[in-house]
């Protein structure tokens, strides 16, 4: 038997080499424009295909992208964001055309560790008490609680993650059948640690991290030391000569397809954690070339825009402000380049599903742990604010049966809703702990239907705790000091009239009743959210049982 397998492998390998030679001689174009010639070998060595009937449990491909805002082609019309206008995401746009796009999806905390802990546990930040990047996720919820992939594992699913799904060194807070990091782009390092800057840059304009010795490459520690930052990378980018497949996220996409091939014979929950567009923005020059500076628009900033923003709600870093207008355009272009690169990896995953005959048995979910500021409000970058650019994320769900393909759901949903939604879709029982989100399966059936009245987000920064209630029209945020008896600071934006949140109207006398009402609803919290009839009775019953 072993000799027979070796013989088959040799024959397939010979065919593969022939395919490669023919492809190179007849069509000498970059690999991204070719059908992958290794597909034949992948299929020959794949596990037998599980036959999935209508009532069988579907597979789940969960794609979580780091720092991805709504700068996607399919989202451009959903909000006025000129800084997003040059987005190029053909694969994600196609996924949206085949699935359901959620135009109003919100995170519970716009920072990696708190957000991921929330949607993976099905609990909100106040319950798990995780508000920063270093807190161990299980310090309050304990070791017994079953995170989302663990719940699937408990019910017969093969589970795996490649890349960033939890939070870096805290990935082992979750048990998987297979759990691996992306490969490193730095030859001397076995694992991928974000922050490395190569010693060359092919972009149109360099950032301000260049210094003596940077041509030899800069580690994260080098970059932080040079900028005087204790944490949080300065604006930094590098356009490289590397192969797209050999970036860390490129290796993640390849390994995910391999895992799907190896486990076609059983239901699986496989998570792809794509690190870009998290900083630093390092990737092949071909993606940078798709985003020239001439295409980039800086976000509008009316005179006095920042004057009415409470101090903890906005922070412009001095080293960010030191960049010229042209450098800031290059920074936005570099961000878009990383999004386009990420889009190409999503395309590889979707193509893998097709080639492995898994597309019609697999739920595909794409989302992000939070958004990303691109120089809005006088120079804000990164996340942790409560502005829409930071708390609003893309969310696309494609169902195996193609239900509601191409439809857009405008109802408010939260990432904490993912746990109960995926559990529902897979036909699994509820976990032992009470989930703090609500399944949005009814929206998958009827995306245009009325939905819940509010979403909630929060963050701790600059000595304050900011708590947000986001309705279809308004965003109200209440900032209270973490220590002492300092003043309560408030924000209120009318998003119908002011979608980019330029004018804080919290102190206007005409808004006093609205501020009081939203403040009351915020204090009551997520459990008091209103539901349209007849969903109100259904959801109160579900909440009582989980």
- 85-143, pLDDT tens digit by residue? 999 999 999 999 999 999 999 999 999 999 999 999 999 999 999 999 888 889 888 99
Question: Does the structure show a pLDDT above 70 at 351?
Answer: yes
Instruction: State residue 538's pLDDT score.
Output: 64
CA 12, CA 6: separation in Å to the nearest integer?
Answer: 10
Running DSSP on this structure, what letter comes out for residue 112? H
CA 271, CA 122: separation in Å to the nearest integer?
Answer: 16
432 or 224, greater pLDDT: 432
Mean per-residue pLDDT over the chain, rounded: 90
Instruction: State residue 477's pLDDT score.
Output: 98
Instruction: State residue 170's pLDDT score.
Output: 82
**Pick from 95, 66, 53, 74: which is nearest to 353 by CA?**
95
Stretch 264-271: mean pLDDT, rounded? 98
CA 218, CA 216: separation in Å to the nearest integer?
Answer: 7
CA angle (46, 51, 53) in 5-degree steps? 150
Whether 529 is covered by a domain: the verdict is: no
Confidence bin at 7 (pLDDT 50/70/90) = very low
pLDDT digit string, tens, across residues 43-76: 999 999 999 998 899 999 999 999 999 999 999 8
pLDDT digit string, tens, across residues 175-219: 999 999 999 887 777 777 788 899 999 999 999 998 777 888 888
**The two three-digit tokens of residue 176, written as one number:** 């998987």
CA 21, CA 134: separation in Å to the nearest integer?
Answer: 49
> 164-168, 215-219, 288-292, 440-444: which range is least confident on average?
215-219
Question: Does the structure show a pLDDT above 60 at 514?
Answer: yes
CA angle (446, 447, 453) in 5-degree steps? 110
CA 135, CA 544: separation in Å to the nearest integer?
Answer: 30
CA 320, CA 324: separation in Å to the nearest integer?
Answer: 9
Could you tell me the CATH number of the domain that includes residue 317?
Answer: 3.40.720.10
Whether 512 is covered by a domain: the verdict is: no
Whether 18 is covered by a domain: the verdict is: no
Instruction: State residue 540's pLDDT score.
Output: 55
Find the domain containing 364 and state its range.
Answer: 58-432
Instruction: State residue 35's pLDDT score.
Output: 63
Confidence bin at 262 (pLDDT 50/70/90) = very high
Instruction: State residue 537's pLDDT score.
Output: 62
Number of domains in the chain: 1
Are 254 and 233 spatial neighbours (Cβ–Cβ below 8 Å)?
A: no
Highest mean pLDDT among 4-13, 220-229, 440-449: 440-449
> 15-24, 293-302, 535-544: which range is least confident on average?
15-24
Whether 233 is covered by a domain: the verdict is: yes
Question: Does the structure show a pLDDT above 50 at 30?
Answer: no
For every residue of 200-219, DSSP letters joined together read: ---SSS--TT--TTGGG-B-
Instruction: State residue 18's pLDDT score.
Output: 37
Instruction: State residue 486's pLDDT score.
Output: 86
> 6-20, 60-74, 471-485, 521-535: which range is least confident on average?
6-20
Confidence bin at 26 (pLDDT 50/70/90) = very low
Confidence bin at 79 (pLDDT 50/70/90) = low
Whether 386 is covered by a domain: the verdict is: yes
Question: Does the structure show a pLDDT above 90 at 31?
Answer: no
pLDDT digit string, tens, across residues 359-390: 999 999 999 999 999 999 999 999 989 999 99
Whether 485 is covered by a domain: the verdict is: no
> 124-133, 217-226, 315-324: which range is least confident on average?
217-226
Q: Is 36 helix (H, G, I), strand (E, B) or coil?
A: coil
Instruction: State residue 184's pLDDT score.
Output: 87
Stretch 499-503: mean pLDDT, rounded? 96
Whether 458 is covered by a domain: the verdict is: no
Question: Does the structure show a pLDDT above 60 at 16?
Answer: no
- What percent of the chain shows pLDDT beyond 90? 76
Whether 363 is covered by a domain: the verdict is: yes
Stretch 3-12: mean pLDDT, rounded? 41
Question: Does the structure show a pLDDT above 50 at 546?
Answer: no
């Amino acid at each position: 038997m072993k000799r027979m397998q070796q013989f088959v492998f040799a024959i397939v390998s010979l065919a593969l080499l022939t395919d490669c030679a023919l492809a190179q001689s007849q069509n000498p174009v970059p690999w991204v424009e070719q059908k992958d010639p290794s597909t034949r070998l992948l299929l020959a060595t794949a596990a037998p295909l599980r036959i999935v009937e209508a009532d069988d449990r579907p597979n789940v491909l969960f794609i979580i992208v780091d720092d991805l805002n709504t700068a996607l082609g399919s989202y451009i019309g959903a909000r006025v964001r000129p800084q997003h206008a040059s987005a190029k995401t053909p694969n994600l746009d196609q996924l949206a055309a085949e699935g359901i796009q959620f135009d109003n999806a919100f995170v519970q905390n716009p920072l990696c560790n708190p957000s991921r802990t929330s949607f993976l546990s099905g609990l909100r930040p106040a319950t798990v008490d995780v508000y920063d990047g270093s807190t161990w996720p299980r310090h309050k919820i304990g070791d017994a609680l079953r995170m989302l992939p663990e719940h699937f594992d408990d019910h017969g699913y093969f589970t795996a993650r490649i890349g960033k799904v939890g939070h870096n060194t805290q990935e082992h807070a979750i048990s998987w059948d297979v759990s691996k990091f992306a490969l490193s782009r730095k030859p001397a390092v076995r694992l991928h640690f974000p922050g490395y800057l190569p010693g060359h840059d092919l972009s149109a304009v360099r950032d301000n991290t260049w210094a003596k010795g940077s041509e030899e490459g800069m580690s994260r520690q080098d970059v932080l030391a040079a900028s005087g930052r204790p944490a949080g990378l300065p604006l930094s980018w590098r356009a490289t000569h590397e192969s797209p497949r050999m970036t860390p996220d490129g290796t993640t996409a390849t390994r995910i397809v391999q895992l799907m091939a190896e486990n076609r014979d059983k239901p699986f929950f496989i998570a792809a954690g794509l690190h870009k567009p998290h900083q630093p923005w390092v990737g092949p020059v071909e993606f940078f070339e798709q985003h020239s500076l001439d295409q980039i628009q800086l976000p509008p900033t009316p005179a006095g825009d920042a004057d009415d923003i409470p101090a903890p709600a906005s922070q412009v870093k001095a080293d960010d402000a030191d960049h010229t207008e042209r450098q800031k355009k290059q920074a936005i272009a570099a961000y878009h380049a990383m999004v386009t690169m990420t889009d190409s990896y999503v395309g590889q995953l979707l193509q893998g599903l097709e080639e492995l005959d898994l597309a019609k048995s697999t739920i595909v979910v794409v989302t992000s742990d939070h958004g990303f500021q691109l120089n809005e409000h006088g120079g804000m970058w990164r996340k942790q604010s409560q502005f829409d650019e930071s708390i609003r994320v893309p969310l696309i769900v494609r169902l195996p049966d193609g239900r509601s393909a191409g439809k857009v759901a405008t109802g408010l949903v939260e990432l904490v809703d993912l746990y109960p939604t995926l559990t529902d879709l897979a036909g699994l029982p509820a976990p032992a702990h009470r989930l703090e989100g609500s399944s949005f399966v009814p929206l998958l059936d009827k995306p245009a239907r009325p939905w819940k009245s509010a979403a909630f987000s929060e963050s701790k920064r600059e000595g304050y705790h900011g708590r947000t209630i986001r309705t279809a029209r308004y965003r109200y945020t209440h900032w209270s000091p973490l220590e002492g008896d300092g003043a309560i600071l408030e924000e209120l934006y009318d998003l119908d009239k002011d979608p980019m949140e330029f004018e804080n109207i919290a102190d206007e006398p005409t808004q006093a009743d609205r501020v009081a009402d939203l403040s009351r609803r915020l204090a009551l919290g997520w459990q008091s959210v209103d539901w349209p009839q007849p969903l109100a009775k259904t959801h109160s019953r579900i909440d009582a049982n989980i």
